[in-house]
Chains A and B, each alone.
Chain A
Amino acid sequence: MKSVRRRYLALEIECDGFVDSREFLDAVWGAVLKLYGEYGASRVGLALIDYDVEKRFAVIRTVHSAVDMVRTALASMTRIGNKPVTIHVIRVSGTIKSLYKKVNK
């Protein structure tokens, strides 16, 4: 069986208040679902790897072929709950180790 190529995205969350990890992941799923529907969302393979509320930093995982879809969905997000929010992709990498190396550079 062919192994799944994955990509890890480091994200910066700009928000006035704090957003917990559950709310954040639901909002990302919601954005993907809104733009690409259930069929599209099923191909994304989204997972939350790391989330730091204080630093407003998150790492999510997706499959290699869906990076553009996730990037688009993240850019289309303007709110989480009632809070206005902007999410920027800082880095994309193939392994968690190299992602943190690039982010901390």
Chain B
Amino acid sequence: MTVRTIDVRERVMAQNDMLAAEVRERLARAGTVALNLVSSPGSGKTTLLERTLEVLGEELGLAVVTGDVQTQNDADRIARRTSRLVQAVITGGACHLDARQVLTALDALDLDRTRVLFIENVGNLVCPASWDLGEDAKVVLFSVTEGEDKPVKYPKMFRQSRYAVLNKIDLLPYVPFDVNRAVRYAREVNPDLRFFFISALTGEGLDQWFDFLRGVTARMGAT
């Protein structure tokens, strides 16, 4: 057997990163800010988006791309709350969204009328950390019904996120969740993480979240 070696030295994510750059360029041209919303299943991504759309949907020209392994239930739920565009991506088993899916989804959105695009990733704190989708920032969501050690258990995700949302704070009297410890763990892996403490259900703390979104569009130069 004569074995010949081909030198390859190709990054496996190279193609995804190229597509992510294309997403980023299209969004920048349209003046759209994109936030990649990541969390475990059941932390409240969809509920937060419902509330956000109700209040800011028209004001900020929000659009949403939802990723789910199966069903378009989340997209249907969100679409009931808004006249704004919601595009569902069914990953068919894959545990994350990739840049190609987002690029394809952009075709269905009216980007010129969209100032903020939410990408609701598949509920999973592991895999979505490895795929750049062309977003401006990742927003990691977790809730008080989970362990406060989520940030140290999934450090890659918390390190890559610029913002953290702690949800379901209305349940704090009923669960043994220690908010200070959660924040301390999060800052251990990412000292620059900016926190929001909310209940997407009752609306507590959402005003700061809304103000942040208004500011983020202004800061990033969207009109």
A binds B: no
Binding site for B on A (CB under 8 A): none
Binding site for A on B (CB under 8 A): none
